[in-house]
């Protein structure tokens, strides 16, 4: 069974398929430890009330990005520019992420 954290990496461009930001695309900012919860820059925003502190001396209301479950995202392939699933291909000692639509290598995965 493939581990979810190998499928989507920080810096990938992803398309949100479900939720309030459904047809939008963005860049992955952070991936959780299990690889299931992913934060996309500028999407799935919520407002948080902040008390005055050294970081926020005025306090107030700020916008933060909430995590999205990985099954609601699709990686956008850099070569065919389509939202696709990610597969894996072993080439010698390297394990590579592969686009399921065009079979092009997305990048190598560290073992």
- Name the phi and psi angles at 93, rounded to 5: -95, -5
Residue-wise pLDDT tens digits, 51-73? 999 999 999 999 999 999 999 99
Q: Indicate the pLDDT class of residue 19, thresholds 50, 70 and 90.
A: confident
Q: Which CATH code is given to the segment(s) 4-80?
A: 2.30.30.30
- The model's pTM is 0.80
Q: Rounded CA gap, 16 and 98, in Å?
A: 20
Q: Residue 25: CA atoms inside 13 Å, Cβ hemisphere, count?
A: 13
Residue-wise pLDDT tens digits, 29-51? 999 888 889 999 999 999 999 99
The reported pLDDT for the residue numbered 4 is 66
From the CB of residue 54, how many other CB atoms can be counted at a distance below 10 Å? 5
The dihedral over CA atoms of 86, 9, 65, 17, expressed in degrees to the nearest 10, equals: -10
Which tops the pLDDT comparison, 3 or 6?
Answer: 6
Instruction: Copy the structure tokens of residue 90.
Output: 């072993």
């Amino acid at each position: 069974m493939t581990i979810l954290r190998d499928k989507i990496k920080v810096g990938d461009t992803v398309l949100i398929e479900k939720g309030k930001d459904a047809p939008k695309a963005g860049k992955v900012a952070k991936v959780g430890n299990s690889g299931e919860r992913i934060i996309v820059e500028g999407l799935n925003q919520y407002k948080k009330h902040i008390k005055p502190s050294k970081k926020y001396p005025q306090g107030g209301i700020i916008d933060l990005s909430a995590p999205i479950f990985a099954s609601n995202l699709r990686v956008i392939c850099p070569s065919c520019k389509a939202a696709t699933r990610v597969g894996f291909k072993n080439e010698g000692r390297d394990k590579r992420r592969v686009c399921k639509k065009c079979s092009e290598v997305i990048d190598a995965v560290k073992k």
